[in-house]
Structure 1
Amino acid sequence: MVKILVAVDGSAASLAAVEHTLHLSREGLPVQLVLANVQEPASLYELVVAHDATVLEEVSTAAGFHLLAPAEAMVRATDVAFESVVVSGDPAHALVDLIELHACDMVVMGGRGLGSVRSALLGSVSQTVLHHTSVPVTIIRHLAVEPPEAEDTDDVEATPEAAANVS
């Protein structure tokens, strides 16, 4: 059994990562999933305004499980075993900690597709995870498919020959 941590942030790329792991299962790889969501820690402003760190933690955890719900639904439609976990902290380092804590054999996560310059300047969660864990990391790029452009038919003359060429 291969234990795979799948980072889920609610994005289309992270759901594509879930689909990829389910595809591995359909192809015969016995997998067990850890669906993980990392919530950013509360800001100083939020701590001052809320006056109750427990409430902030509950709200953050609920938001994390809300983001995990579509991924959980995808996995429930199969016979793949999984567990869900929501933690708070720096996303990359929290994921590395979860990999170790849950003894995962590999990681699958969505890539946001930042260019190399933006990625180098901003850093990236997937890049940090890749460099700070000893397990294989698969980064799934989710490419949005745009509908094909419709042909401009305004320039077509209304002749029998032109009408015969339009299907």
Structure 2
Amino acid sequence: MLKFLLPVDGSDTSNKAVAEFIKLLDWYKEAPEIHLLNVQFPQHGNVTLFIDKESINLYHQEEGMKGLKAARDLLGQAGIPCQFHITVGSPEEMITRYAKEMGFDQIVIGPRGLGVVKGLLLGSVASKVMQLSTVPVLLIK
């Protein structure tokens, strides 16, 4: 069975990519195993001096669940089972590392939608994932 990783952040672009991917599932002879991944940014500065690690972890879990909600709902409405994961770090690094370590067959990701000029100046998670990943990446607009 194929295993696919869908990084999601709760944005309209991310949700649109999940909705479009659902339409493409007919491509596959056997329904792939779907895993959603939400990457939370780490807390910076002196936050740990004022807030305990358990509270920070709880915050990341709560925010991660918010970021996963729409994608989980879309897949649920389509009757597609999925597993979900939350991690903390740099999105492009965590996505590529997670995909490799967990043995995914493909990463399915949507573009950020910043436009050509901003995309060239700022870069995007999708383009960095495509550059860094040893796992095939399917970019869905």
TM-score interval, smaller chain: 0.7 to 0.9
TM-score by length of 1: 0.75
Amino acid at match of 1:80: I
Higher-Rg member (1/2): 1
CA distance in 2 between partners of 1:134 and 1:97 (Å): 9
Residue pair 2:40, 2:87 contacting (<8 A) in 1 also: yes
CA distance in 2 between partners of 1:100 and 1:107 (Å): 10
Q: Which residue of 2 aligns with 1:149?
A: none
Q: Would you say 1:107 and 2:93 are equivalent positions?
A: no
Q: Which residue of 2 aligns with 1:62?
A: 62
Q: Which residue of 1 aligns with 2:50?
A: 49
Amino acid at match of 1:20: E
Amino acid at match of 1:14: S
Greater RCO, 1 or 2 (C-alpha within 8 Å, sep 6+): 2
* Unaligned ranges ≥5, structure 1: 142-167
Please list the CA deviations of residues 86-107 of structure 1 after superposition, one character each: whole Å capped at 9, or x if unmatched: 0000010000011112211111
Give the secondary-structure state (helix, strand or coil) at the position aligned to 1:111.
coil
Residue pair 2:41, 2:88 contacting (<8 A) in 1 also: yes
* Unaligned ranges ≥5, structure 2: none
CA distance in 1 between partners of 2:116 and 2:85 (Å): 31
Please list the CA deviations of residues 108-148 of structure 1 after superposition, one character each: whole Å capped at 9, or x if unmatched: 1121222344323322211111011122212233xxxxxxx
State the identity as a percent.
Answer: 29
Q: Would you say 1:13 and 2:50 are equivalent positions?
A: no
Please list the CA deviations of residues 60-81 of structure 1 after superposition, one character each: whole Å capped at 9, or x if unmatched: 1111012101111111223323
Runs of 4 or more above 6 Å deviation: none
Q: Which residue of 1 aligns with 2:86?
A: 86
Residue pair 2:6, 2:107 contacting (<8 A) in 1 also: yes
What is the aligned residue count?
Answer: 139
Q: Which residue of 1 aligns with 2:133?
A: 133
Residue pair 2:8, 2:38 contacting (<8 A) in 1 also: yes
TM-superposed deviation, 1:28: 4.6
Give the secondary-structure state (helix, strand or coil) at the position aligned to 1:113.
coil
Give the secondary-structure state (helix, strand or coil) at the position aligned to 2:110.
strand
CA distance in 2 between partners of 1:124 and 1:139 (Å): 12
CA distance in 2 between partners of 1:73 and 1:111 (Å): 20
RMSD: 1.7
CA distance in 2 between partners of 1:86 and 1:10 (Å): 13
